[in-house]
Structure 1
Amino acid sequence: AMNKLAEREKVLYFAGISGSNDTTGKDCVRYGFRQNFFGQTAAAAIGPVLVKQFGKNRKAAYMTPDYTYGHTVTKSVSDYLAEHAGWQKVTDQVSPLGTQDFSQYLTNIANSGAEFLINVNWGRDAVLSSQQAKQFGLLPKMTLVLPYQIPFIAKEAGVDITAGVLAATDFWWTLEDKYPLAKQFVEAFHKKYGYRPEWGAENAYVSFAHWARMVTEAGSFYPPDVIRQWEKGETIPSLLGNVHYRPEDHQAVRPVVLVRGKAKKDMKNDEDFWEVIDVVPGEKVIQPPGEFGCKLGDYT
């Protein structure tokens, strides 16, 4: 919806957090750009780790929010696991956004024979569904997977739920030890706000920084000039090394971070919720341009 509004009003739009394949796929617009990772890249990053750790021919239940983010993430993850390792999607429990009581969905999952609970729910829905899964006794009987990590879920849901959980994400603050720009950002953010940034803040900051760079290089605020500068596809810095945007769909080719939840006893401070296990290059996980139906519109 925001993409279409930006196109209609001819103003630039940068997706704050958008995990749907459609954002830079069939719903792409000339005036829209996305810096963060999404369903396809999450699946291609976390899938090999799940297969390596747990093997082939496993049974998984999915919890899917009923909108484009949920459906495209679930499809990408389930397609990857089925194609590469024969994993079976034994049930897909689709719930409306804003669901408070997940008991009917969890009852179906409990009776499905699933070994894995792959929770694609977002925000408060993800917190409540994970907590209720534990209350129902599904966790730790089933292995919880968060293929598209929700900022602050470890803090909100509890480390008793996220400990040992595999997740794909855009950024985690301990990467400051590897990337100098990440260290500068984390330190400045922590000093100003009193806590360390999660990936929503990272995405907003980097998106704005990239816009500022393009405006500077274009020498103009006029959107078509800025867009054409962006579409040159130059290599530019991010908090996780160099990245570039594809002119065909305005999607950043950027790393996906894989993390595993820490147990309380292993946390070095009260925000040390996740251990980074890999930073997967964007080129390894992104689909070819046009695969999801992107057709950019006119400049004016």
Structure 2
Amino acid sequence: MTQQQTTDGRTPGTTPAADAATTSFVAHRNLLFTVAYEVLGSASDAEDVLQDTWLRWADVDVATVLDHRAYLVRMTTRRALTRLRTVRRRRESYAGPWLPEPLVTAPDVADDVVLADGVSMAVLLVLETLAPTERAVFVLREVFALEYGEIAEAVEKSPAAVRQIAHRARSHVAARRPRGTVSAAESREAFAAFRRAVTTGDLQGLLDVIAPDVVLLTDGGGVVQAALEPVVGARAVAAVLARIDAGDVETTEVNGQPALVLRRDGAVDTVLAVRVAGGRVAGLYAVRNPDKLGHAGRTADIRR
């Protein structure tokens, strides 16, 4: 049954201002989630930030807000920063490698090169090495192309300070991010060969498609079995991958890049994101921590 509405289209018991607040928040929700996720690297934390933002936004007199999008981005960024400073302390004592919470993304995300790069596992891991304010500034400037004045309001710094922070963060990320660009065709071809080798248990096929210096990071969070240190080198990584039970493997896109989803007894067991460079698989990110697999069963609508 649908809710009754008044003659002007409103739900009974609401005011025009409340309806306007709801409409505006819903219109910008995917953008706000993407901002929070980029700052935090965690979908569950991003959802909590959005809930808090909504509760505070509902108390705002929206008629006095000239730019709802900018205001909401500012609110979301501030709350994401507060959350990041809290979770950072927990991540310092994390069992084994910490990986971002994987997001299953629609194919069109890969078409937005800036967005796909910004949410990739590799870049999110680099962002983990930035201070919280540096990370927020980098995300708002490099991914969402906000003006320095807008960013300054969001992080509560002067525009001049934000320029300096942005320059420092940009240099930091450039020095640590994976180098080189890969065409979509090259990525698809390497991933297809990788998937065939994994699903058939073809050890030589794996050695042919993964780079000699490939790195595999596995995140079990101390809850399920996972390597506590990075697995480095083609033979070591191939030996791990050859043990995968290929009975229930799906192909998908995670954080804008090709990935495999491994299921056990119908439930998601592992999300394995793949990074291609130079025609070969150069990086693998295996998320096994059950607390991070809640979004693996549905597509996240991320937007800039």
| TM-score interval, normalised by the smaller of the two chains | under 0.3
Max Rg structure: 2
Higher helix content, 1 or 2:
2
* TM score, norm. by length of structure 1: 0.27
Could you tell me the TM-score, scaled by structure 2's length?
0.26
